[in-house]
Chains A and B, each alone.
Chain A
Amino acid sequence: MSGTIVCGVSDSEAAATAIGVAAELSRRLGLRLVLVNVADTISDPLGEALESVSGRNARLAARKLLQRLIEEHRLDGVVARDEAGDPALRLAHVAAEERAQLIVIGSRRVGLLRKRLRAGLAAALSEASPCPVVVAPPQRVPAAGVAAAAR
Chain B
Amino acid sequence: MWLWAQTAASVAELALRPVVCGVDQSQAGGDAARVARVLARLVAAPLVLVHVVDRPDEVVDGARLLARIAHDAELGEVERRVAVGVPAEQLAEAADAERAAFLVVGSRGLGPMRAAFLGSVSMQLVGLAPCPVLIVPPGAAAAFSAAADAAPVQTAAVARSAGADLTDHAARRTWHGRAR
Contact = CB atoms under 8 A, between A and B. Distances in A.
Contacts of A131: 137, 140, 143-144
Given A28-B43, A127-B109, A116 B117 contact: yes
Nearest to B141: A132
B85 to A, nearest CB: 20
Contacts, number: 144
A28 B160 CA distance: 11
Contacts of A138: 176-177
Contact of B140 (A116, A132, A135): A132
Contact of A129 (B113, B120, B137, B176): B137
A122 to B, nearest CB: 5
B124 to A, nearest CB: 8
Contact of A132 (B3, B126, B136, B174): B136
Contacts of B148: 1, 29, 101
A147 B135 CA distance: 32
A129 B174 contact: no
Contacts of A46: none
A140 to B, nearest CB: 4
Given A119-B123, A130-B140, A124 B112 contact: yes
Interface stretch (B57-65, B69-77, B165-173): B165-173
B11 to A, nearest CB: 14
Nearest to A22: B132
B123 A137 contact: no
Interface string A73-113: 00000000000000010000000000001101001010000
Nearest to B107: A126
A119 B137 contact: no
Interface of B: 1-4, 35, 42-43, 102, 107, 109, 111-113, 115-117, 119-120, 122-123, 126-127, 129-141, 143-144, 147-148, 150-152, 154, 162, 165-166, 169, 172-178
Given A127-B111, A140-B176, 6 more contacts: A24-B166, A27-B165, A28-B162, A101-B143, A130-B137, A137-B130
16 contacts: A2-B147, A2-B151, A20-B169, A107-B127, A120-B116, A125-B135, A125-B137, A126-B123, A126-B137, A127-B137, A132-B35, A134-B102, A136-B132, A138-B177, A146-B2, A150-B3
